[in-house]
Structure 1
Amino acid sequence: MSSPNFDHPQQHTVTVRVLPEHIDVMRHTNNVVYLQWLEDVAWSHSCALGLGPDEYEASGHGMVVRKHELSYLLPTHLDDELILATWLTEVDKLSTHRCYQFIRLSDGQTVFRGSTHFVCVDIAQGRIRRMPSAFYQAYSAAAISTAP
């Protein structure tokens, strides 16, 4: 396959293979697995920006899901290799918006698209708070403009 056709040119990617434990009674990847992959690629991207679990803990703040939008476009099956791509599209002092696109390597087909709205919370109190400046700087610097 030639290079994948991503929705945006500046994405963070992780490659995964569909394993036997991912397969459900319908003989395709279970929907819950996609949710885990969203978390995995989002954490990978955040860590690449210097904001991993240790930084969240040290700051006493973290980003939690407010809303997911998920579109399962094509099924995936045992041993399919997928590129999980993510990028940030909006960042403000309280939240981030992250998009996802999963592409099957064998045929270049986009099998999944999604988005997540995250909000910043104080870990100890569980209340929405402004992002620490390190969060805002890292996430806003990585955000991709979606303006035409």
Structure 2
Amino acid sequence: MGWDLATPFIIDLQVAPEDIDGLGHANNAVYVSWLERCAWRHSQRLGLDLTEYRRLDRAMAVVRHEIDYLAAGYEGDELQLATWIVDWDQRLKMTRRFQLVRPRDGVTLLRAQTTFVCIELSTGKPKRMPAEFLDGYGPALTGG
């Protein structure tokens, strides 16, 4: 696969009938939900699931999505969505990149970048990342 960066974390997806909009292709809101799913699964793989977030009273919350929709996905398409952690300040901010590919023809359907900020769950306010976040997310950092 022609991934933009090395060593991606990848999830498999299939465009379902309910993902299709009035224009006959996957709705843009569905792509956003896929980005969230991929980021969560990667975080879980790194040992940072919702239970751990609650225990630490911290979470990584989305503050910005930048999405380039490059080609349409259609009902039944088998897709792969990759993510990489490409930047973080080890205090508050972290950035992920995403690439959505249709393997049967190698077409990239989407490229995206999401910025997250660490928040304290109990207050919703920005709060410094705990050591567990540094230990979990740090090794996944990719130059990007």
Aligned partners of 2:29, 2:95: CA distance in 1, in Å?
Answer: 21
Give the 3-state SS of the residue equivalent to 2:26 in structure 1. coil
Residue in structure 1 matching 2:65, options 68, 91, 96: 68
1:88 paired residue number? 85
The 4+ residue runs of structure 1 with deviation greater than 6 A are none
Shift of 1:117: 0.4
Specify every segment of 5 or more residues in structure 1 that has no aligned partner in the other structure, as ranges.
none
Q: TM-score, normalised by structure 1?
A: 0.95
Residue deviations 1:22-59 (CA, integer Å, cap 9, x gap): 00000000000000000000000000000011100110
Aligned partners of 1:136, 1:67: CA distance in 2, in Å?
Answer: 21
Is the 8 Å Cα contact of residues 90 and 140 (structure 1) preserved in structure 2?
no
Equivalenced residue count is: 143
Matches within 5 A, 1:1-148: 4-92=1-89, 93-146=91-144
Which residue type is aligned with residue 78 of structure 1? E
Aligned partners of 2:53, 2:93: CA distance in 1, in Å?
Answer: 15
Shift of 1:91: 1.5
Shift of 1:13: 0.3
Is the 8 Å Cα contact of residues 91 and 136 (structure 1) preserved in structure 2?
no
Give the 3-state SS of the residue equivalent to 2:111 in structure 1. strand
Aligned partners of 1:24, 1:68: CA distance in 2, in Å?
Answer: 21
Indicate the RMSD between aligned Cα atoms, in angstroms: 0.6
Give the 3-state SS of the residue equivalent to 1:28 in structure 2. coil
